[in-house]
Structure 1
Amino acid sequence: MTQVTRFTGDAKPYGGGDPYADYRAAEVPFDHLADLADRRLGAGVIAASDEFFAERENLLVPERPVFDPEHFGHKGKVMDGWETRRRRGTGADSPHPVDADHDWALIRLGAPGVIRGIVVDTAHFRGNYPQSVSVEATTAPLSASPEELLAPSTRWTEVVARTPVGGHAANAFEVDTERRFTHLRLNQHPDGGIARLRVYGEVVPDPEWLAVLGTFDVVALENGGTAEDASDRFYSPPVNTILPGRSRKMDDGWETRRRRDKAHDWVRYRLTEHAEIRAVEIDTGCYKGNSAGWAALHGLDAASNPDEWFEILPRTRLQPDTVHRFVVAAPAATHVRLDIFPDGGVARLRLYGSLTETGATRLRERAARL
């Protein structure tokens, strides 16, 4: 574990105006990766030791935390995060909590995978944040109950050692444990409030489950697909195009700025593994006056021909706010590139197909190593 940011101590009390004006954050080397704890992937906070002031579910809300200085409830200030009551000692002679006292929350990742970085965000918790945090991880069935996860037989691996953190800050940690995990235990010592938890990493799907499915979406994030690079991320990130479900609003897809040149925008994806694509779905849902005008799709087999892109779908007219479906026949690929002309928005990309024997073998071998 490496602490990327070193924010410690209280933030100043809120003095009015923009509550993010004095928020402490820094660039991190892993935030381009998928958030394995994204609620939209099926992640959840399934239990917590205490949530007296603010509910544990707030930890995984996709939007950034909000702060309303005038919002109070019957338990006090209403905060957009997970906040526990103040811990106390055993009596008048020992009023302070002991070093081992702490609160915890159990998180089921939306997609199992290798964790590369964690952000413990204490936004708006200025004097009521934890003194330090730690994070443990384990591998269990996705449907494991809190009782099963907390049983003595469950083996937990420390991925973030107990580390002091700062209030009203994005506290970031690099993780170097090469293991596939399904659940986390977020600990705050001894108590306090955490606004958001982000768990960045690489999805590693269950190869046996995909083998049973046979045909599936080989670019979907939950199946191990990745948006590796894009020409433009101005309005929203390209990873949105491979999230589950249909988009609900414009910023739930991928939208580029308006081009004023003669070029075009694109996204490059890495598939689950070496796969044959038989059907393509391009959805411009919620993009009405700003959808992409045309789209084309090209494939690449990085193992055999790393420099030779081939056509899967020729340049094709798109309609606003519409699901477009195409049956295709193309060589097997490890990567695809979606080109849009000249710019605009695409909500979702689905590529239905099957892993080749080579791809299935490589996926099984990788999962076994982890």
Structure 2
Amino acid sequence: MIDLAVRSLGGAVIAANDETFAEKENLIRPDVPLFQPHTFGHKGQIYDGWETRRRRSPGHDWAIVRLGAPGFVRQVVVDTAHFTGNYPEECWLEGRYVNGYATLDDDGWTPLTGRLPLTGDSANTFDVPDGPLVTHVRLNIAPDGGVARLRVLGDAVPDPRRLAGVPLDLAALENGGRVEDCSNRFYSPADNVLLPGQAQTMGQGWETRRRRGEGNDWLLIRLAGPGHVRQLVVDTTHFVGNAPGAVRVRAVDAERHDPLGDEGWVELLERQALLPDTPHWFATDPGVRATHLRVDVFPDGGLARVRAFGQLTSDGWDALVSRWRAGLPEALRDALDDTWEKHTIHRPVAPHNDSHDGPQGSLHRR
């Protein structure tokens, strides 16, 4: 699962009813909450989180988060780190799918959780069984207090209308890619290499510990769906004295072979030397059908970003659209059905040697 709400993925806290003591934007910062005792601003002790005033009337406080990527919510973490005498007694979350831009009305919100008790200075973790597809979540706290971070964990499902006819990064988190496994996460999370935009610091990439024995470090990336990679980007920006010496990329089709096994891997990029602090672009064979990539770095080091530009296969495209439409609220799905022909989404043209693909066509209402 990935954090769908985190700021580095494009999440934003678009509204809150109160942020007297600490700003709402802190809720989705990617870093660990910090605290320094006896540091006072003009409103009191400085907290790394969102904190509301003491409530003197009935009601509760709330904050609305626009997710960085639409998705199915599987788990939420309401982290009250460093809030010991001023955390909320309870919380609950709601979600909604917005076709366009959100308003602050109360229509369309669906409960993701019931009312849940909170513990202070703790990462309160709650599962969300059968969570719907959402673009926004609303965190409600009662009666008031502070929350350091909100993590909304789940599976990204992009809106296919935004992907039709444009270059597609099959590995990007926002498009449904993810790092399924890696050799080492010593300095930073491996998922960082699939975040949008350029890394601003070394800490926003993936860096392994120094390797003292044989072997090499690696990433296993699950693509957004079955697809054909036409171009790879391996970016070592900010890694000056700790970039890998070389890289190799292989592909496998999970419908034919186990990505955790040794068979079925096809070399997309033979071993190539890497320069420090440099984005590297490599053309690849677009005829290779892949669901996963293995990125081997030699012997260790750090990468800022990995991109895999290409296109989904026709069956991969259909599966993406079907999953997206199945997760939509019924009223929105019906409204889209009524105008579907006006927004026809074309399947990608398949390479001639891809036997899994059907003919080129349009995706119609189903």
Q: Is the shorter-chain TM-score for this pair beyond 0.5, marking a shared fold?
A: yes
Does the 8 Å CA contact 1:302/1:335 hold for their aligned counterparts?
yes
Give the structure 2 partner of residue 186 of structure 1.
139
Select 1:245's aligned residue among 174, 186, 197. 197
Give 1:76 deviation, angstroms: 1.7
Give 1:369 deviation, angstroms: 2.3
Q: Secondary structure at the match of 1:161?
A: coil
Structure 1 counterpart of 2:220, which letter? R
Q: Secondary structure at the match of 1:358?
A: helix
Q: Secondary structure at the match of 1:367?
A: helix
Q: Secondary structure at the match of 1:349?
A: strand
1:222 aligned onto 2:169: no
C-alpha distance in 2 between matches for 1:42 and 1:274: 25
1:205 aligned onto 2:158: yes
- Under a length normalisation based on structure 1, what TM-score does the superposition of the two structures give? 0.84
Give the structure 2 partner of residue 319 of structure 1.
275
- Greater displacement, 106-115 / 204-213: 204-213
Give the structure 2 partner of residue 3 of structure 1.
none
C-alpha distance in 1 between matches for 2:202 and 2:164: 34
Give the structure 2 partner of residue 293 of structure 1.
245
C-alpha distance in 2 between matches for 1:75 and 1:266: 48
Give the structure 2 partner of residue 345 of structure 1.
302
Question: Which residues in structure 2 correspond to 1:80-91 (within 5 Å)?
Answer: 80-89=48-57
Q: C-alpha deviations, 1:327-367, integer Å up to 9, x for none? A: 11141211111001111111100111111111111111222
Give the structure 2 partner of residue 177 of structure 1.
130
C-alpha distance in 2 between matches for 1:318 and 1:54: 44
Moved over 2 A (4+): 304-307
Q: Secondary structure at the match of 2:198?
A: coil
C-alpha distance in 1 between matches for 2:275 and 2:38: 45
Give the structure 2 partner of residue 130 of structure 1.
88
Give 1:142 deviation, angstroms: 5.3
Select 1:364's aligned residue among 318, 321, 325. 321
Structure 2 counterpart of 1:127, which letter? G
C-alpha distance in 1 between matches for 2:321 and 2:256: 20
Q: C-alpha deviations, 1:110-141, integer Å up to 9, x for none? A: 10011111110111111010011111111113
Give the structure 1 partner of residue 101 of structure 2.
143
Give the structure 1 partner of residue 364 of structure 2.
none
Does the 8 Å CA contact 2:112/2:131 hold for their aligned counterparts?
no
Give the structure 1 partner of residue 13 of structure 2.
45
- Count of residue pairs the alignment pairs up: 322
C-alpha distance in 2 between matches for 1:119 and 1:333: 33
Give the structure 1 partner of residue 149 of structure 2.
196
For structure 1, the residue ranges without an aligned partner over 5 or more in a row are: 1-32, 90-96
C-alpha distance in 2 between matches for 1:340 and 1:293: 7
1:67 aligned onto 2:35: yes
1:159 aligned onto 2:115: no
Give the structure 2 partner of residue 23 of structure 1.
none
Structure 1 counterpart of 2:272, which letter? T
Could you say if the C-alpha distance between residues 366 and 187 of structure 1 is closer, same or farther in structure 2, counting changes exceeding 3 Å? Answer: same
- Greater displacement, 268-277 / 304-313: 304-313
Structure 1 counterpart of 2:235, which letter? D
Structure 2 counterpart of 1:251, which letter? G
Does the 8 Å CA contact 1:274/1:356 hold for their aligned counterparts?
yes
- Under a length normalisation based on structure 2, what TM-score does the superposition of the two structures give? 0.85
C-alpha distance in 2 between matches for 1:364 and 1:111: 15
Give the structure 1 partner of residue 68 of structure 2.
110
Give 1:286 deviation, angstroms: 0.8
Does the 8 Å CA contact 1:108/1:142 hold for their aligned counterparts?
no
Structure 1 counterpart of 2:101, which letter? S
Q: Percent identity over the alignment?
A: 50
C-alpha distance in 1 between matches for 2:249 and 2:293: 7
C-alpha distance in 2 between matches for 1:172 and 1:181: 19
For structure 2, the residue ranges without an aligned partner over 5 or more in a row are: 328-366
Give the structure 2 partner of residue 276 of structure 1.
228
Select 1:354's aligned residue among 311, 330, 346. 311
Give 1:157 deviation, angstroms: 1.6
Does the 8 Å CA contact 1:275/1:353 hold for their aligned counterparts?
yes
Q: C-alpha deviations, 1:166-207, integer Å up to 9, x for none? A: 111111101112421110110000111111111111111112
Give the structure 1 partner of residue 351 of structure 2.
none
